[in-house]
Structure 1
Amino acid sequence: MMIAENGYPRLHALNISKDPLDDDGRPKRTGTMWTASAHIITAVIGSGVLSLAWAMAQLGWIAGPVVMILFSFVTYYTSTLLASCYRTGDPVTGKRNYTYMDAVKSSLGGQMFKICGTVQYVNLFGIAIGYTIASAISMMAVKRSNCHHKNGLTGSCKVNSNPFMVAFGVAEILLSQIPDFDQLWWLSTVAAVMSFTYSSAGLGLGIAKVAENKQILGSSTGITVGLVTESAAITPIQKVRRVFQALGNIAFAYSYSIILIEIQDTIKSPPSEVETMKVANRFSVAVTTLFYMLCACFGYAAFGDSSPGNLLTATGLNPYWLLDVANVAVVLHLVGAYQVFSQPIFAFVEDQAARRFPDSRFVNKEIKIRLPGSGDKGLNMFRLVWRTGFVVVSTTISILVPFFNDIVGLLGAIGFWPLTVYFPIEMYIAGRKIVRWSGKWVLLKLLSMGCLMITVAAAAGSIAGIVDDLKASKGL
């Protein structure tokens, strides 16, 4: 992906052809159902897949698959509603909306545009924290895996996450200062290859572990009350909290609405972009759900109630080298993904600062620095201080709250209802002028309220999990 002028992700396919031009004066779009599906699958399959075995362990063999299928249906349906908002007015000749935020502004107005932007930026900041934690966990897993390989599974292989988080933060500080980071076209390709590498490796390792065990672990209701974990026995309240948190983990794995409009903006017409996108949504959600079900089910079958929060950190997975390759792929993916998801925040703050302080040399002056082999590069002091501060804050929070599943669950809760459900439904109602209290209006509102309840439950479960883990880490 690239970053558009307004700070939001933009796909490279926009610039594939220079002539002729489309109806909006932009280069002719050449995307198809297959390229759109590829973009969606690449965007969806990521680090969220690593927590699905743990989520399945909380829900069990009955509720787990059912919940995942329900999330897939809701995601598909609301994504279809969102796709219909690509053009304002006529679905064939209406004005194009190039980003999710453009669609919100044209359909719901400026106030909702600001609210949506706030939710997006909070979610993106949270993702930066989550990626810092996930990368550190993978680096720790590599070191721990090699230690076990050398000293045996019974050997002491304790690893501190803080140095790895600091190292990740230092790398992000350096990367965040690269001018025109959005022009690194190869980043999307590397990210796609890495995400499929560790996702496929996780699935393969889970299958190998089931074959090694020669039995399928797990139960119909998930983790049992009274089970002794690393900290204490599972209480009934903790069981409920973990179930709610699992909902957030699954929601996070399905999040891609934020870039759906951008993907749709790469599709050629005729047929209309909406029709092509509906088919792409159906195909990609089906493929993603199948892959997620395989990863979650084989991971749960391999480890049962003791399924780890991150599948690639499980003890006893073999071969060691494949586990190391998978975790290295996670780190490489997240190093770039952190920048992709942080660039919109960087662009927004820097644009606002330039507008408010047009005469400030600190904010606007570019200092030319000549780098060997790279020519002159611009260094902006405000950008240096602001982006460094952003990375320092996200890294510090990650060190203070290094709980992968809790953070992933909270991120899933924050982003699921407002971005995947509420705004698409409200934009669809406004764009199609659906009459208030009509049958369709009532059903859409009920769907939105039901998903809001799931979001609240997932957020509550994740926050409670953070509190419990903080108490456990401090010995309270």
Structure 2
Amino acid sequence: MGGEDDRGHEHEKCEKDKSIDDWLPITSSRNAKWWYSAFHNVTAMVGAGVLSLPYAMAELGWGPGIAVLVISWVVTLYTLWQMVEMHEMVPGKRFDRYHELGQHAFGDKLGLWIVVPQQLVVEVGVDIVYMVTGGKSLKKLHDVVCPDCKSIKLSYFIVIFASVHFVLSQLPNFNSISGVSLAAAVMSLSYSTIAWTTSVSKGKQPHVDYGSMASTTSGAVFDFFSALGDVAFAYAGHNVVLEIQATIPTSPEKPSKKAMWKGVVVAYIIVALCYFPVALIGYWAFGNAVDDNILITLEKPRWLIATANMFVVIHVIGSYQIYAMPVFDMIETVLVKKLHFPPGLALRLIARSVYVAFTMIVAITIPFFGGLLGFFGGFAFAPTTYFLPCIMWLAIYKPKRFSLSWFTNWICIILGVLLMILSPIGGLRSIILSAKSYKFFS
């Protein structure tokens, strides 16, 4: 009789796992359309990082700057294609989360250890950076609209920005945030357009200088490294791509990768329309006098800059949620599957509010935005975006030595590893330089 009991138990366990999967944010609804993937990807990619691209160009110079932008665009599109392809490479199974693919490639234990820490650093890092960006843009909006008002501390604006997320983070899954995400994607196009059209209307400044910003050679080298991190940060959608694809329905006739890829291509065209004009025109107009956020350089017309900052705030609200969703998924999976908490509203309310509060507190404590970008950008973005997909591809598909696929992947891996080693050096240096003149909780 024991066999039947076991089967009963197994059946119960499967049912229970299925009910938990139906509750978890990534796997709970799978009826997304291909255009959802387009705007989720745009929202995930075109972060406020686009506004620092003219500054990165100034640190890199014309030739290297354009090369780095174009190479990043091509390489990340290729690695994104790999991830979309690998989502359903085992018939009848879907890798709904980045770490599930990692476990398939490197084994259960090692896969978790390789992917999860990096993915968490990226997603939590991005959310902290977005807390800072949201707060800064709200402050800028306040200062532009009301120049004569009493100055309010940045910390308060970060708290105001966070308060929105205490509410929004209760939305259960990816499809329920698609409205927020669509608004965010439209905003990113809008503020990018404002940034470059305003630069065009200002024209090339009278004493524009395209020389190196740093006075010393070592300074120039460090700036170069730091700029690489900023550019890496600008292409960071890979950390949530499998999770986005998990929301698309699939069948043998119409695998999810077709719809997903269509969305990705549309997203990448929009990304190019946002990035290239802002980076090139912003640098052309201001040369190395540009700030690390182009909207700060463009002081007037006041109403337009106020609007652009409002757009940034709305966009960052959407981006924060897109990056937070996989983190919520991990937290809730651990709480429910490992620690056996009952899934429900109370669990979600407490777990997610704690996360939002955590990112808020860190953002208030260390709000130097640029250096953090370069530092996080190098450590975690380079692997998850530039070369981890290639390593998985080589591990799983084992392409022939010296074949085109083999070469392409190794080139991406080498570029990615260089990026991972070099950009944190630049980022750390700029954090140290800002920290000298910095007071905590300012």
TM-score in terms of structure 1 length: 0.76
1:252 touches 1:415 (CA, 8 Å); kept in 2? no
Aligned residue for 1:195?
Answer: 188
Instruction: Give secondary structure in 1 for the equivalent of 2:86.
Output: coil
Unaligned runs of 5+ in 2: 1-20
CA distance in 1, matches of 2:167, 2:266: 39
Q: Which deviations, in whole Å up to 9, do the C-alpha atoms of 1:245-302 show, x marking residues without a partner?
A: 1111111111112233355563877687667766765664355234311101121223
More moved, 258-267 vs 190-199:
258-267
Q: Which deviations, in whole Å up to 9, do the C-alpha atoms of 1:229-255 show, x marking residues without a partner?
A: xxxxxx433322221111111111111
Aligned residue for 1:21?
Answer: none
State the AA in 2 paired with 1:237. S
Q: Counterparts in 2 of 1:73-472, with a 5 A limit?
A: 73-89=74-90, 95-110=93-108, 111-148=110-147, 160-176=153-169, 178=170, 180=172, 183-210=176-203, 213=205, 217-219=208-210, 221-223=211-213, 225-226=214-215, 235-262=216-243, 264=245, 266=248, 284-316=267-299, 318-358=300-340, 364=342, 378=345, 380=346, 383=348, 385-435=350-400, 441=406, 444-472=409-437
Q: Cα distance 1:11–1:414, how it changes in 2: closer, same or farther (>3 A)?
A: farther
Aligned residue for 2:31?
Answer: 15
Aligned residue for 2:54?
Answer: 53
2:136 touches 2:154 (CA, 8 Å); kept in 1? yes
Higher normalized helix content (fraction of residues): 2
Structure 1 residue 7, shift from structure 2 partner: 5.6
Q: Cα distance 1:343–1:286, how it changes in 2: closer, same or farther (>3 A)?
A: closer
CA distance in 2, matches of 1:36, 1:474: 42
Q: Cα distance 1:204–1:172, how it changes in 2: closer, same or farther (>3 A)?
A: same
Q: Which deviations, in whole Å up to 9, do the C-alpha atoms of 1:424-472 show, x marking residues without a partner?
A: 1122113322356878546533431331111221112112211110012
2:184 touches 2:317 (CA, 8 Å); kept in 1? no
Structure 1 residue 133, shift from structure 2 partner: 0.6
1:53 touches 1:296 (CA, 8 Å); kept in 2? yes
Q: Which deviations, in whole Å up to 9, do the C-alpha atoms of 1:165-191 show, x marking residues without a partner?
A: 222233433444x36365344222222
CA distance in 1, matches of 2:201, 2:351: 46
1:138 touches 1:327 (CA, 8 Å); kept in 2? yes
Q: Cα distance 1:141–1:103, how it changes in 2: closer, same or farther (>3 A)?
A: same
1:46 touches 1:195 (CA, 8 Å); kept in 2? yes
Structure 1 residue 68, shift from structure 2 partner: 0.4
CA distance in 2, matches of 1:144, 1:299: 23
CA distance in 2, matches of 1:124, 1:216: 40
Structure 1 residue 402, shift from structure 2 partner: 1.0
CA distance in 2, matches of 1:401, 1:308: 19
Aligned length: 416
CA distance in 2, matches of 1:108, 1:61: 40
Q: Cα distance 1:82–1:162, how it changes in 2: closer, same or farther (>3 A)?
A: same
* Aligned-pair Cα RMSD in Å: 3.4
State the AA in 2 paired with 1:424. P
1:401 touches 1:470 (CA, 8 Å); kept in 2? no
Aligned residue for 2:17?
Answer: none
CA distance in 1, matches of 2:287, 2:218: 20
Higher normalized strand content (fraction of residues): 1
Q: Which deviations, in whole Å up to 9, do the C-alpha atoms of 1:307-354 show, x marking residues without a partner?
A: 1111222253x3211111111121122234323322332332233233
Q: Cα distance 1:273–1:283, how it changes in 2: closer, same or farther (>3 A)?
A: same
Q: Cα distance 1:466–1:80, how it changes in 2: closer, same or farther (>3 A)?
A: same
State the AA in 2 paired with 1:198. Y
2:98 touches 2:115 (CA, 8 Å); kept in 1? no
Q: Cα distance 1:274–1:430, how it changes in 2: closer, same or farther (>3 A)?
A: farther
2:103 touches 2:112 (CA, 8 Å); kept in 1? yes
Q: Cα distance 1:386–1:313, how it changes in 2: closer, same or farther (>3 A)?
A: same
Aligned residue for 1:71?
Answer: 72
CA distance in 2, matches of 1:280, 1:180: 23
Structure 1 residue 70, shift from structure 2 partner: 1.2
TM-score in terms of structure 2 length: 0.81
Q: Cα distance 1:180–1:236, how it changes in 2: closer, same or farther (>3 A)?
A: same
- Identical residues among aligned pairs (%): 27
1:6 touches 1:347 (CA, 8 Å); kept in 2? no
State the AA in 2 paired with 1:52. L
1:56 touches 1:246 (CA, 8 Å); kept in 2? yes
Q: Cα distance 1:467–1:168, how it changes in 2: closer, same or farther (>3 A)?
A: same
